[in-house]
Amino acid sequence: MNVDLYERFWMWSSGGIIAVFIASIIYTSAAQSLQPPSHVETIDPQTARTSPGFAQPSVTLNADGSATVHIMAQMFAFLPTEIRVPRGQPITFRMTSPDVIHGFQIVKTNGNAMVVPGYVTQFTTRFDTPGEYLIVCNEYCGLGHHIMFSTLIVEDDVEMAGDVGAGAGQ
């Protein structure tokens, strides 16, 4: 079969692009642990603000050193506004929204998920580099979208002070 030179060029380059896409999916999922949150749990958005864990969204330090973080993503803030978690430990984020869809992105990490009213978004990750990370809403959620952010602080010793002490020693 005679295929024109330009036709062959476009066929090979289209095939090459697809191969690059597939390779990058395999690389990011295997080497960088980028995976979509797979947890499915429903919650009534009308009562989310008074639901267990979300009535007082905060960091709970578990006995094994890991931590669970409850976050309320709402117009136009993440509660709590500052999160302190231990370095190098599994950190499980649980979040929901009482109003509209929000995004939850921990800049420069693999933490990135959608927060959908009616569902509890959950994922677990680890932070090996101490420091301050910016959390932003990356789904347009209304007029105050641009002021919707929060701070994640990763440190070696998380002191249990203020709202962080509630789940100590469980």
Please give the span between the terminal C-alpha atoms of the chain, in angstroms, as a whole number. 71
Of the two residues 59 and 141, which places its CB atom closer to Cu ion in the complex?
A: 141
- Window 64 to 123, contacts with Cu ion (CB under 5 A): 102
Rounded least distance, CB 115 to Cu ion, Å: 8
The DSSP bridge pattern shows strands 102-106 and 67-74 to be unpaired
Alpha-carbon radius of gyration of the chain: 20
Contacts with Cu ion, 133-162, as mask; x by CB under 5 A: ----x---x------x--------------
Of the two residues 104 and 133, which places its CB atom closer to Cu ion in the complex?
A: 104
Q: How far is CA 93 from CA 1, 3, 60, 66, in A?
A: 57, 54, 10, 11
H-helix segments, the chain:
5-31
Rounded least distance, CB 49 to Cu ion, Å: 16
With CB under 5 A as the rule, give the number of residues binding Cu ion: 4
At residue 86, the 3 state secondary structure works out as: strand
Rounded least distance, CB 137 to Cu ion, Å: 3
Rounded least distance, CB 108 to Cu ion, Å: 19
Residues that bind Cu ion (CB under 5 A): 102, 137, 141, 148
